[in-house]
Amino acid sequence: MGKFAEKLASATPARQRAMLGNIHTLVGSKQLEKYYKLLTNFDFLAAKVQHSEFGVQALIEDYDLVEYNNEKVKTLKLIQGALRLYAHVLERDGAQLAEQLWGRMQDFVEPEIQRLLSQARNSKKNIWLRPLKTSLTTPGGRLIRTLDGHNHLVRAVAVTPDGKQVISGSKDNTIKVWSLETGAKIHTLVGHSNYVNTVAVTPDGKQVISGSRDNTIKVWSLETGAEIFTLTGHSDSVRAVAVTPDGKRVISASKDKTIKVWSLETRAETRTLKGHSNWVNSVAVTPDGKQVISGSRDKTIKVWSLETGAEIYTLTGHSDWVNSVAVTPDSKQVISGSVDKTIKVWSLETGTEIRTLKGHSDWVRAVAVTPDGKQVISGSFDHTIKVWSLETGIEIHTLKGHSDWVRAVAVTSDGKQVISGSDDGTVKLWSLKTEAEIRTLKDHNDWVRAVTVTPDGKQVISGSVDKTIKVWSLETRAETHTLTGHSNSVRAVAVTPDNKQVISASSDNTIKVWSLKKGEEILTLKGHSDRVMAIAVTSDGKQVVSCSCDNTIKVWNLETGAEIRTLKGHSDWVRGVVVTSDGKQVISGSNDKTIKIWSLKTGAEIPTLKGHSDCIRSVAVSPDGQQVISGSNDQTIKVWCMETGEEIHTLRGHGYWVRAVVVTPDGQQVISGSSDNAIKVWSLETGAEIASFTGEGLILSCAVTPDGMTIVAGEASGNLHFLGLEGMKLEVIRYLGRG
């Protein structure tokens, strides 16, 4: 415990509040050295973050009290930037301050930052997971803050005209209102009975308009969060809404292939525009209020007279669905984004295409234009946001940070910030004006679905949706080589006991065997009729066991590649498979909510374990073969007795699907990874949670080194986390669990 922590611990509650809350007095009295030291003191940071009357936002604001342009203030701004980047994590779990600082700042050389990290490490008295490399977004880049609060993917975003509030709509059927400055949640608007597809704000900033898959449009008070009225008339999902510049009318686009115009004053439909032959995905109104622009799954953009409802012309050129449209502030150009991965710029006056912007590697889902009309913002299913010059069509920046599809983008009225909404469930705020480029930390170019550690503990193998397998040095965390050959996502990897071969399973329905040393493909095992979800190698290295979405488990001869037998019994996809250390039994977990135990020698099914209420994504077995561990979409981990089939523990603590489970080599702990972005360590004996680390995307896979001291986890961001298990001798973890 540091000196500040000792003083704080011995102080009265009133004195503690003064010690944490009166930092501004140091600035007022010109005690700037004390101010600098306090804001680089880990004990002060931790105490303020976890104090009920202050919290992380109050701490962030402390860093704004001095604006001098010197090295010390620059260092403080880096720490502030790091705090702002993971404020949403600290709001839920203030105890993760040390983990997050280490995950973001260990590569900074500033003495104050290195001292802060040292203090953070020394402050940990219990077990914790220390990042061994920078694997989280670092401060100083374009990402400013993450807003996290929706329970499902974010489908829509908007910003109020004054730039003070962000509106988001989600698949969780709600709309949330956030403070742009602090990231605080102001309101949750509840009333839709299905996905919220689209949101808009009236020009006076007083009302929010939302469109939903429940076929309705709702109008809400932004001040109170109350629903004012509902507009009904569409016969299918409302895909997009826009408001006229005078604030008097709402335009809506629907899956029913129509566009409707509504009076906000009379609350009545005034006109229906028909002409598209497929879903209308997007709609915009020209700033002069004269024309409506619509984009459709029929691959066209149509321009309509708002006054008469007449179609003026149709813009054709996209080779696939048009997902989004926007109009420049001068009403002269239309921007469109398409499933064909391009953005097109059109003359609104002539209806001709001006240019095509290419650069995204997947669907362009959203487009927006900056208020000065100089830049286009696009959001894509390739997980990125791109900023383009409208004049030249050149890509200016790529904003990376989302771990899933980007569905929505908006720009603040001052043109300084971009807001994005994603299938990763978050809203992110980005700076358009900073000179710095965000440090891109990508180990893979897509989700890391699989990780394992070689038996000698020297190398890590990872497999990704980007179709590659990578080999990493555990000591340096550097990539040594890449194995390519699969034609679809790599879903599982394993290594033979002699460290000589890598086995991989893929969504291309195959299993491949590779030379670890040479990186060359040796064999391809074919036989599954659907995606291969998981694999395991027997302890003698002679057989591979695989499971698939074809509902079967297969056993293969590793030397010849021949299929030995097929195990049938599951009634749905088999997602997880493991073999006991004695090589006698196979354990499988399935979408049918059951775990089955099989004889590897005969293929006979032994018992079936039932108890999960949703599909099972991962299974593991203790080194002594006495316990089975399962992770499920029901958000729990269960520990079972192998001999009796009885449930021993249910481990609860994850807030979403449990995607991965593994047992430490000493059989003392379970490691789990979840769609709630968390990696957790549990006592196998007591079922108690021991430690937790929060990443920036779904945790899809995890592995542990043979010495049990390092956890490797694969994330949807494309990154690998290398986490050291520190803070206490492992032999006494079980007693921590009991206490």
Q: Are residues 605 and 588 in contact, defined by beta-carbon separation less than 8 angstroms?
A: no
| Residue 735 pLDDT level (bands cut at 50, 70, 90) | very low
Which pair of structure tokens corresponds to residue 48?
Answer: 């303020």
pLDDT greater than 60 at residue 476: yes
The closest of 117, 73, 78, 115 to 99, measured between CA atoms, is 117
| Residue 40 pLDDT level (bands cut at 50, 70, 90) | very high
Instruction: Quote the CA–CA distance of 517 and 128 in Å, as a whole number.
Output: 34
Residue matched to tokens 């920046």: 397
Q: Are residues 673 and 699 in contact, defined by beta-carbon separation less than 8 angstroms?
A: yes
Which pair of structure tokens corresponds to residue 249?
Answer: 């009318």
476, with CB counted inside 10 A (0-12, 13-18, 19+), is: exposed
Which pair of structure tokens corresponds to residue 510?
Answer: 């195959």
Rounded to the nearest 10°, the torsion over CA 408, 413, 414, 420 is -10
Domains and CATH numbers, the chain: 3-123 (no CATH), 126-137+611-739 (2.130.10.10), 143-431 (2.130.10.10)
Q: What angle do CA 462, 467, 471 make, to 5 degrees?
A: 30
Q: Which residues contact residue 228 at a Cβ distance below 8 angstroms, ignoring those fewer than 6 apart?
A: 207, 219, 220, 221
Distances (CA, A) of 399 to 163, 279, 485: 21, 30, 29
Sort strands 268-274 and 258-263 into parallel, antiparallel or unpaired: antiparallel
Tens digits of per-residue pLDDT, 516-528? 999 999 999 999 9
Residue matched to tokens 């000792």: 6
Collapsed DSSP state (helix, strand, coil) of residue 658:
strand
Phi, psi at 526, each rounded to 5° = -120, 140
| Residue 561 pLDDT level (bands cut at 50, 70, 90) | very high
The closest of 66, 69, 77 to 105, measured between CA atoms, is 77
Average pLDDT over residues 576-590: 97
Average pLDDT over residues 378-383: 97
Q: Are residues 24 and 63 in contact, defined by beta-carbon separation less than 8 angstroms?
A: no
Instruction: Quote the CA–CA distance of 554 and 495 in Å, as a whole number.
Output: 18
Q: Which residues contact residue 68 at a Cβ distance below 8 angstroms, ignoring those fewer than 6 apart?
A: none
Q: Are residues 556 and 528 in contact, defined by beta-carbon separation less than 8 angstroms?
A: no
250, with CB counted inside 10 A (0-12, 13-18, 19+), is: buried
Tens digits of per-residue pLDDT, 685-699? 999 999 999 999 999
Residue matched to tokens 């012309």: 313
Which pair of structure tokens corresponds to residue 464?
Answer: 């990704």
pLDDT greater than 80 at residue 611: yes
Which pLDDT does position 437 carry in this prediction? 53
* From 260-274, 291-305, 430-444, the region with the lowest mean pLDDT: 430-444
Percent with pLDDT over 70 in the chain: 97
**pLDDT averaged over every residue in the chain:** 95
Which pLDDT does position 433 carry in this prediction? 83
Angle between helices 111-123 and 97-105 (to 10 degrees): 140
Three-state helix/strand/coil letters over 571-595: CCCEEEEEECCCCCEEEEEECCCEE
pLDDT greater than 50 at residue 93: yes
Residue matched to tokens 């403080």: 76
Which pLDDT does position 412 carry in this prediction? 97
Query: What is the model's pTM?
Result: 0.90
pLDDT greater than 90 at residue 737: no
What is the spatial order of strands in the sheet that 417-422 belongs to? Answer: 143-148, 426-431, 417-422, 406-411
- Residue 694 CA to its chain's centroid (Å): 11
Which pLDDT does position 4 carry in this prediction? 87
Average pLDDT over residues 256-285: 97
Which pLDDT does position 739 carry in this prediction? 39
- Residue 62 CA to its chain's centroid (Å): 29
Distances (CA, A) of 89 to 624, 676, 690: 37, 11, 18
Which pair of structure tokens corresponds to residue 574?
Answer: 């088999």
Q: Which amino acid is at 310?
A: A
| Residue 90 pLDDT level (bands cut at 50, 70, 90) | very high
Which pLDDT does position 736 carry in this prediction? 44
Average pLDDT over residues 480-506: 97
Tens digits of per-residue pLDDT, 429-463? 999 986 555 455 589 999 999 999 999 999 999 99
Tens digits of per-residue pLDDT, 109-143? 999 999 999 999 999 989 999 999 999 999 999 99
Which pLDDT does position 381 carry in this prediction? 96
Which pLDDT does position 1 carry in this prediction? 62
Q: Which amino acid is at 163?
A: G
pLDDT greater than 90 at residue 604: yes
Q: Are residues 124 and 92 in contact, defined by beta-carbon separation less than 8 angstroms?
A: no
The closest of 540, 538, 531 to 511, measured between CA atoms, is 531
Percent with pLDDT over 90 in the chain: 91
End-to-end Cα spacing for the chain: 22
